[in-house]
């Protein structure tokens, strides 16, 4: 009897979009058949990975003085109306609750698209003195936006993220927080998950609505489009003034606070993890976030062998379990080959294969998912080797991802070069005039390439002529197609 697993049937390089859809479904990340567009069912394999990603961010946020909170899902319209630019920016995307039971509500309630106007309503009550600062709170929640086109983990009407809202006595402290947020992203997204990105200062027309400045992390997907996976904002005193968030300073003078907000896009980070590390067989997960880190596959052909093999499997299972490694023995009634494929599709980083030879000769066959390579390891070295492999796998994924990322960042010195590079799916660095009309014209002419912003160490100056319009260039910017 043949038991063929229905694996991924397209190559990632040839048809990324279809590959992504198949991986999401077949690896058991999401079920898109729920009957409201843009709202997906998050399946166990995705939720376990997401939980680990949350844990990494939360640990780091708490290490730097943040505390967890949970704010209401609904935000009254009057809160929204307080900051003009914010409400104008978000209104087209808001879901409104207008009725409850048989009653029409007196005022509409927004399902939070982001929670500035919920948090700051309360910050105005909580902050009265310099002693109340800094105030650093975060919540790990879903938010709701009325998006027209949706894709699981990339763009949804309901998606998961973290939002941190901080208030300070001085602008300098707020700017330091923006740096700390970027460092938080680097530590988790790059160091632990191996996803490379560029943190860019967005152009004024692409700022978060209500912010003075927006800094956002763009990674590059295999189809040549960038994906924003994290952002942090210098809110200045705009919301403080709109909500009346003031404090008495040490000299008894009343002042407005300075604020920042930070949003690691947990959902999109999962999308990037899938897209960037995955291969033609499916997911490839870093050890740190894999729901199953080590899977043990027993291989036997009769009952007598089964006893021997299972005894050894059990021994290794307990050994790893004791060390808090997420380990599983696959005892399902399927062939070893079927099981291999299934766990490769799900991206389990390390597989132990144990059969008669392994029992008799005192070794274990270890398979690593990232390189699809096997090695024989003596029984008493297996645990150490697993720890080593966890690091080696992450290093390999990082190197691979970084190589792809860096190879696809290029410079262009003419319109023609820019158009060509965009067509090839690159992130393109150009001299730029800084005008929104020019960026808009470029976007239309290139079928969607956007000015993503300047690098963090950038200083305004004379950079020759704008590659697009020929006017004097004051900026060096990155341009790319985006999700
Ligand atoms: Zn221009």
Answer left, alpha or beta for residue 388, where phi above 0 means left and psi between -120 and 50 means alpha. alpha
Q: Which of 151, 389, 115 is nearest to 270 (CA)?
A: 151
Percent of the chain at pLDDT exceeding 90: 96
Distance CA 291, CA 289 (A): 6
Question: How many A from CA of 442 to the centre of ligand 1?
Answer: 9
Residue 95 CA to ligand 1 center (angstroms) comes to 37
Cα–ligand 1 centroid distance for 424 (angstroms): 22
Residue 145 has a pLDDT of 97
**Other C-beta atoms within 10 Å of 360: how many?**
9
Secondary structure class of 240 (helix, strand, coil): helix
Question: What distance in angstroms lies between residue 100's CA and the mean position of ligand 1's atoms?
Answer: 51
Q: What's the gap in Å between 450 CA and the centre of ligand 1? A: 13
Q: Across the chain, what does the average pLDDT equal?
A: 97
Q: Tell me: the pLDDT tens digits for 238-297? A: 999 999 999 999 999 999 999 999 999 999 999 999 999 999 999 999 999 999 999 999
Mean pLDDT of 161-167: 98
* 444 CA → ligand 1 middle, Å: 14
- Rounded to 5 degrees, φ, ψ at 163 are -130, 130
Indicate the pLDDT class of residue 86, thresholds 50, 70 and 90: confident
Q: How far is the CA of 434 from the centre of ligand 1 (A)?
A: 6
CA of 448 to the centre of ligand 1 (A): 16
| Straight-line distance from the first to the last Cα atom of the chain, in angstroms, rounded to the nearest whole number | 44
The position carrying tokens 């694996």 is 7
Residues 6+ apart with CB under 8 A from 182: 199, 215, 217, 232, 456
User: Ligand 1 centroid to 470 CA: how many Å?
Assistant: 6
Beta bridge partners of 430: 477
pLDDT (0 to 100) of residue 99: 97
Ligand 1 geometric centre to CA of 432 (Å): 5
pLDDT at residue 5, rounded to an integer? 62
Query: E strands, 221-372, where?
Result: 225-236, 246-248, 254-256, 258-264, 294-298, 327-329, 350-354, 363-368
Measured in Å, residue 415 CA sits from the centre of ligand 1 at 11
Q: pLDDT-based confidence at 3, cuts 50/70/90?
A: low
**CA 435–ligand 1 middle distance (angstroms):** 6
| Ligand 1 centroid – CA 459 distance (Å) | 18
Per-residue confidence (pLDDT) for residue 4, from 0 to 100: 62
What lies within 8 Å, CB to CB, of 173 at 6+ separation is 134, 258
Report how far ligand 1's centroid is from the alpha carbon of 201 (Å): 18
Average of per-residue pLDDT across 82-88 = 87
Residue closest to 410 by CA, chosen among 438, 433, 430: 430
Nearest one of 411, 410, 423 to 449, comparing CA atoms: 423
Return d(Cα 253, Cα 324) in angstroms, integer.
Answer: 54
pLDDT of residue 1: 44
- pLDDT score at 6: 75
Distance CA 378, CA 112 (A): 55
> How much is the average pLDDT of 159-173?
98
**Interval between CA 472 and ligand 1 midpoint (Å):** 8
267 Cα: distance to centroid of ligand 1 (angstroms): 34
226 CA → ligand 1 middle, Å:
22
Q: Is the dihedral of CA 383, 345, 284, 181 positive or negative?
A: negative
Spacing, Cα 176 to ligand 1 middle (Å): 32
Whether pLDDT at 333 is above 90: yes
- Domains in the chain, ordered, with CATH? 16-277 (3.30.930.10), 287-394 (3.40.50.800), 409-482 (3.30.110.30)
Percent of residues, the chain, with pLDDT higher than 70: 99
458 Cα–ligand 1 center, Å: 18
In degrees and rounded to multiples of 5, residue 116 shows phi and psi of: -50, -50
460 C-alpha to ligand 1 centroid (Å): 15
Q: What is the pLDDT of residues 349-359, one digit of tens each?
A: 999 999 999 99
Distance 87 CA to ligand 1 centre (A): 30
Residue 473 CA to ligand 1 centre (angstroms): 7
Distance between Cα 479 and ligand 1 center (Å): 12
Q: How far is the CA of 427 from the centre of ligand 1 (A)?
A: 18
For residue 109, pLDDT over 70 is answered with yes
| CA 477 / ligand 1 centre spacing (Å) | 11
Q: How many angstroms is it from 441 CA to the middle of ligand 1?
A: 9
Distance 196 CA to ligand 1 centre (A): 29
Count other Cβ atoms within 10 Å, centred on residue 305.
Answer: 15
Ligand 1 center to 452 CA (angstroms): 14
C-alpha 137 to ligand 1 mean position (Å): 41
């Amino acid at each position: 009897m043949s038991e063929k697993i229905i694996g991924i049937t397209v190559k990632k390089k040839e048809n990324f979009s279809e590959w992504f859809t198949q991986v999401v479904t077949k690896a058991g990340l999401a079920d898109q058949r729920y009957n409201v567009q843009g709202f997906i069912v998050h399946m166990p394999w995705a939720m376990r990975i997401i939980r680990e990603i949350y844990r990494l961010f939360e640990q780091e946020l708490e290490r730097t003085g943040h505390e967890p909170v949970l704010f209401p899902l609904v935000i009254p319209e009057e809160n929204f109306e307080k900051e003009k630019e914010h409400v104008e920016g978000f209104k087209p995307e808001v879901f409104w609750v207008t009725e409850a039971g048989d009653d029409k509500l007196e005022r509409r309630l927004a399902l939070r698209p982001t929670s500035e106007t919920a948090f700051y309503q309360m910050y105005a009550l909580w902050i009265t003195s310099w002693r109340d600062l800094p105030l650093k709170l975060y919540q790990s929640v879903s938010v709701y936006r009325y998006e027209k086109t949706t894709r699981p983990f990339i763009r949804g009407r309901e998606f998961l993220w973290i939002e941190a809202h901080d208030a300070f006595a001085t602008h300098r402290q707020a700017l330091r927080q923006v740096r700390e947020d970027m460092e938080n992203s680097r530590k988790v997204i790059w160091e632990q998950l191996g996803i490379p990105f560029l943190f860019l200062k967005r152009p004024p027309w692409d700022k978060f609505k209500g912010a003075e400045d927006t800094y956002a992390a763009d990674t590059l997907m295999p189809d040549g489009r960038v994906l924003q996976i994290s952002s942090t904002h210098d809110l200045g005193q705009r919301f403080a003034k709109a909500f009346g968030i003031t404090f008495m300073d040490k000299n008894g003078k009343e002042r407005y606070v300075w604020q920042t907000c930070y949003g690691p896009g947990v959902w999109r980070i999962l999308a990037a993890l899938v897209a960037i590390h995955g291969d033609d067989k499916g997911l490839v997960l870093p050890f740190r976030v894999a729901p199953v880190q080590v899977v043990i596959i027993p291989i036997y052909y009769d009952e007598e062998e089964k006893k021997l093999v299972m005894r050894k499997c059990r021994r290794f299972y307990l050994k790893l379990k004791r060390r808090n490694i997420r380990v599983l023995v696959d005892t399902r009634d399927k062939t070893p080959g079927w099981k291999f494929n299934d766990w490769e599709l799900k991206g389990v980083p390390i597989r132990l294969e144990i059969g008669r030879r392994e029992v008799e000769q005192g070794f274990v066959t270890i398979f690593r998912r990232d390189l699809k390579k096997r090695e024989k390891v003596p029984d008493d070295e297996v645990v150490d080797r697993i720890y080593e492999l966890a690091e080696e796998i992450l290093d390999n994924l990082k190197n691979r991802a970084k190589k792809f990322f860096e190879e696809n960042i290029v410079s262009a010195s003419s319109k023609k070069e820019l158009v060509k590079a965009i067509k090839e799916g690159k992130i393109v660095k150009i001299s730029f005039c800084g005008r929104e009309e020019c960026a808009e014209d470029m976007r239309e002419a290139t079928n969607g390439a956007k000015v993503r912003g300047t690098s963090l160490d950038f200083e305004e100056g004379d950079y020759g002529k704008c590659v697009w319009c020929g006017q004097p260039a004051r900026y060096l910017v990155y341009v790319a197609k985006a999700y």
